[in-house]
Chains A and B, each alone.
Chain A
Amino acid sequence: MAYEAKFRVWRGDDSDGELRDYLVEVNEGEVVLDIIHRLQATQTPDLAVRWNCKAGKCGSCSAEINGRPRLLCMTRMSTFTEDETVTVTPMRTFPVVRDLVTDVSFNYTKAREVPSFAPPPGVAPGEYRMLQVDVERSQEFRKCIECFLCQNTCHVVRDHEENKENFAGPRYLMRVAELEMHPLDSADRVAAAQDEHGLGFCNITKCCSEVCPEHIAITDNALIPMKERVADRKYDPIVWLGDKLFRRG
């Protein structure tokens, strides 16, 4: 059952780095993270990798395997053939720290730019009443484990460093959608989605949905509905005309 797998792992830091080849044992039922751990324990004790729960629940071990953004703990070795070389690199959208570890502070910065839940005025704790059908849309978005794979794969920032400043990324646009659809949130978030968080940058090419380990339909259920809400507000000709007239007047 066990075999020697060919691994290529990116080793380096912010100044330089390279893909290095390793031969490492693989046993039945293992995932890529197990192999990385075996490398640490047997060949490269200082190989840096971020991980935590090892069950796809915390979203720490995000990296790229054969060029695809994945969780190391949820990628089973059985998805590769025994003679296939498995290439593991850090996420390529964020600044690298060392080896497979990147600096994901971009995401925490963006998180802070989304105004928080605005509780309904005059409703005491314990008095909140919400029906299941009304909370379900936001609940889907709250499944997010913040692995940042969607942020990593989104070409708006992956391929254009300069857009990082004006684009919140799929995860935080989804957060805006989550609050917008929260049955008791009392803030209006539509205009800000377009003007502050860069919803217009999204060209709905759906890579965020493709890589989401929680299978959240980010594009269909969060981003497009937000675009439609923006269209309600900003691109409805009657509203637009009214705005123009009143602003002029």
Chain B
Amino acid sequence: MTEVERHSYDVVVIGAGGAGLRAVIEARERGLSVAVVCKSLFGKAHTVMAEGGCAASMGNANPNDNWQVHFRDTMRGGKFLNNWRMAELHAQEAPDRVWELETYGALFDRTPDGRISQRNFGGHTYPRLAHVGDRTGLELIRTMQQKIVSLQQEDFAESGDYEARIKVFAECTVTELLKDGDRIAGAFGYWRESGRFVLFEAPAVVLATGGIGKSFKVTSNSWEYTGDGHALALRAGATLINMEFVQFHPTGMVWPPSVKGILVTEGVRGDGGVLKNSDGERFMFGYVPDVFKGQYAEGEDEADRWYADQEQNRRTPDLLPRDEVARAINTEVKEGRGSPHGGVFLDIASRLPAEEIRRRLPSMYHQFKELADVDITAEPMEVGPTCHYVMGGVEVDPDTGAASVPGLFAAGECSGGMHGSNRLGGNSLSDLLVFGRRAGLGAAAYVAGLDTRPAVAPDAVDAAAALALDPFDPEVGGPAENPYTLQNELQQSMNDLVGIIRKADEMRRALATLDDLKRRLPNLVVEGHRQFNPGWHLALDLRNMLLVSECVARAALTRTESRGGHTRDDHPAMDSQWRNTLLVCSTDGDAVAVERKEQVPMREDLLALFELPELEKYYTGGELAAHPGRAE
């Protein structure tokens, strides 16, 4: 039998970003023992990259805000494909989750009367984003990391052992979930540092692994975003939904090449920055889609007045939801009105005094100064779309985060449904707080309700170990492959063929490439030994990237309409017939299957929060028969 380090916990949380940490805190507060496993060092998760803020309808900046308004904004942003129950829970609980962070020691920016300041963001009716300059994600991560330390200190005071109930397994990658019958029994992985295997025996696993952006060439995501949670869930028999919806953030850096894709926060536009093409024209006024007609300013004067007086004026279309802005930039560049390095201009220099820019957007100022040698207080930035977020993920129960496999939970970006076809900026940080906590609760309740603990079968451990070691001793099935080359081909193909604008024949070509890569995967050869070997790590991650990319491509090919983060050149219109259809991905181990599934209709009281004419833009007539507006 394989030599393996064994640990036993009540709950194993995979991923130490915001959702993971919030789940850890919740499970621990319910008295369970928790392991948190992460690929990076503790506190480095991708959540630190979130800049703009955390959406919560606290109503500090505008007292008219409440959860219903937030709920409506979220549903609109997602083009009514969202899981409405998740959107409801999210809007209702986000303020409590933010306030709770203050009790952990978070220091958000303040309003003049000492409450949490809130800023404007795309798609949000009122200023709603709790923020700390433009480093809100860092604040969240650090706050929860420090809360975990404080819980460990409590455990130390009680038992003399900091790690009595929470242990962090940093720089440790999980490669496989293990089951006992149909239930989760544990997780198998390796220490990145030593290459040694580690086995977690646990009845409940919470996936909080984030997204899949590393499958695309131009992305704001870090190397960790290889879709591990998505792939682990699939291989364990769970399902993914909405995988065709990938958010391209409209403003990523486009130059220099080595930082292409790195995010430029939407906060730049929230604080007054405007998009311009090479003619100096504020082109967004020409891109307000029909469904948003009347909700956005029609001229520059009104848009500019809105920053000072939001009651009397409509907001600038620079703050349309991200999918709209990304497409608009794409069109401008394609039609020859782009900036020198293939983006458009984002101008804040001419809109705010230099001092104010440095105060409100310190890390953006730095990022451009140090990476591109551009002074954003003096000249415009060049920006273009970058792969940013996947709306799709593990299909879960809204209230508990439970996947279809007993004992498996998911939260944050790697779960699906909450954001529908497009996520609003600021809704990801609130999402991971709300559903991170709920997944932790769900796991705790599940563990408490167990009669017997599942056991890990020894041969499953052997099989997982053999699979992980395969790249060191590959089959002789063809020419040896380099993992970096394969990764490049995958990223290029996904970027070019399943990117912002999609066509059926291109996606078929992408699927053919994916098939080819899948065939070559067993021929991967890794040099060196198991100790901190990045080539080996990539070889193992590639398996996940390929599986998840296939889901994205297949689902995208199936959905013959354009909606949110899925734009079909050959089906440019939104189709009401598709609105309540979810595409569900599953795998039998090798092939990926995509099936259609109908959503549960929205509860009537929630449906009644919308005016009938708005719903008619999205819904089919039959679905609205029960709407109170129709009944009159």
Contacts and interface: CB of A to CB of B under 8 A. Distances in A.
Q: Do A and B bind each other?
A: yes
Interface of A: 13, 27-31, 34, 40-41, 45-60, 74, 76, 78, 97-99, 101, 103-104, 108, 111-112, 115-117, 119, 125-126, 128-132, 135, 138-139, 142-146, 179, 182, 185
Given A58-B49, A74-B370, A45 B153 contact: no
B256 A40 contact: no
Nearest to B527: A45
Contacts of B257: 27-30
A138 B107 contact: yes
Contacts of B367: 55-56
A125 B222 contact: no
B484 A45 contact: yes
Give 6 nearest A-B pairs by CB, closest first: A29-B256, A46-B528, A117-B105, A116-B150, A129-B114, A45-B535
A57 B107 contact: no
B147 A31 contact: no
Contact of A182 (B43, B105, B133, B150): B105
A30 B138 contact: no
B448 interface: no
Given A76-B370, A145-B138, A47 B534 contact: yes
B519 interface: no
A132 B110 contact: yes
Interface in B235-278: 255-259, 262-263
Contacts of B259: 29, 31, 54-55
Contact of A53 (B48, B147, B536): B48
Given A29-B372, A52-B223, A60-B41, A139 B107 contact: yes
Given A28-B256, A46-B527, A40 B534 contact: yes
A125 B102 contact: yes
A103 B170 CA distance: 11
Interface of B: 40-44, 46, 48-49, 58, 95-96, 99-100, 102-105, 107, 109-110, 112-115, 117, 132-133, 135, 138-139, 142, 146-147, 149-150, 152-153, 156, 162, 168, 193, 222-224, 255-259, 262-263, 362-363, 366-367, 370-373, 482-484, 526-529, 531-536
Contacts of B146: 116-117
A179 B142 CA distance: 13
A41 B534 CA distance: 10
B338 to A, nearest CB: 18
Given A112-B149, A125-B99, A53 B49 contact: yes
A45 B526 CA distance: 8
A99 B193 CA distance: 11
A92 B36 CA distance: 29
Contacts of B224: 52
16 contacts: A28-B257, A46-B533, A47-B534, A48-B531, A55-B49, A56-B371, A58-B40, A74-B370, A98-B193, A112-B156, A116-B153, A119-B103, A126-B95, A135-B109, A142-B138, A143-B135
Nearest to A42: B484
A142 B48 contact: no
B148 to A, nearest CB: 10
Contact of B258 (A31, A132, A145, A182): A31
A99 B44 contact: no
Contact of B256 (A30, A49, A52, A104): A30
A115 B153 contact: yes
Contact of B223 (A51, A104, A112, A143): A51
B109 to A, nearest CB: 7
Interface SS, A side: loop
A40 B258 contact: no
B481 to A, nearest CB: 12
A185 B114 CA distance: 16
Contacts of A182: 105, 107
Contacts of B58: 126
Nearest to A137: B107
A68 B531 CA distance: 26
Given A34-B258, A40-B484, A74-B371, A48 B532 contact: yes
A132 B111 CA distance: 7
Given A116-B147, A128-B99, A52 B531 contact: no
Contacts of A56: 366-367, 370-371
A55 B527 contact: no
Contacts of B110: 130-132, 135
Q: Which one of A52, A144, A182 has the highest number of Cβ atoms from chain B below 10 Å of its Cβ?
A: A52
A125 B258 contact: no
Contacts of B366: 56
A131 B132 CA distance: 13
A89 to B, nearest CB: 16
B96 A125 contact: yes
Contact of B535 (A46, A78, A125): A46
A97 B153 contact: no
Contacts of A119: 103, 105
Contacts of A54: 222, 259, 262
Given A52-B222, A74-B370, A135-B110, A117 B153 contact: no
Given A60-B40, A98-B531, A142 B139 contact: yes
